[in-house]
Amino acid sequence: MGVTEGTTTGVPPVVVRRALPTEPAVRASKSLFLAEAERQGLKAGRRMLYVGQEPAPAHIAEGLRVPAGTGVIARRKLLTASDVPVRIATSYFRADLFAGTRIAEPGFVQPSLQSAIESLGHAFGHAEETLIARPPTDFERETLELAAGEWVVQVLRTSYSAQDAPIHALETICAAPRHVFTITQVTGHDEF
């Protein structure tokens, strides 16, 4: 954990680390964020903001291989570190595959979202992850309590089944001033 000096929003300074790529032991945990924060000695919190169908934005639709505007299941939550809002994470699922399942129900899926996906017969094949730094939307600025001029980092991970079917798009909006992205290499191949 690192700490930044001063803040213009009145939000206490906090910095969390986000590993890229995500370590397998963390990825397999009940909650990626809770596992990451615990390893950093932070008090992690999460609150569900929304579960329901909404039109797929173009970048989500592309990853899920559906037309833009198609109804998809969205599961949006706010993640906090030491009571400071640091991320908005939204899981998107194709409604044709997941409507009527516990993935479409309100609240957190127990024991984990990953186990729910697997229980429906979907085996993980591979994922693609992209990062974009950009100014926040009004919703992101307000929810993450960002000061004017502060940016976000949008991390989009789209996961595909062993049969190459798009299963899950996870969009994480990170408050840029509150994150450090740690890059790791495959063991035995650390070259910079």
35-58 residue pLDDT tens? 777 777 788 899 999 999 999 999
Sheet holding 124-134, edge to edge: 44-55, 71-81, 84-94, 166-175, 152-161, 124-134
Query: How far is Cα 143 from Cα 78, in angstroms, rounded to an integer?
Result: 8
Asked whether the beta carbons of 3 and 13 are under 8 A apart, the reply is: yes
Element (H, E) at 189: none
Residue 107's φ and ψ, nearest 5 degrees, are: 85, 180
Handedness of CA 102, 107, 110, 116 (dihedral sign): positive
Each residue of 59-113: pLDDT tens digit?
A: 999 999 999 999 999 999 999 988 999 999 999 999 999 999 999 999 999 888 8
Give residue 157's Cα distance to chain centre: 8
The answer to whether the Cα torsion of 17, 22, 24, 26 is positive or negative is positive
Q: Can you tell me the distance from the alpha carbon of 93 to that of 21, in angstroms, rounded to the nearest whole number?
A: 22
| Entry pTM | 0.81
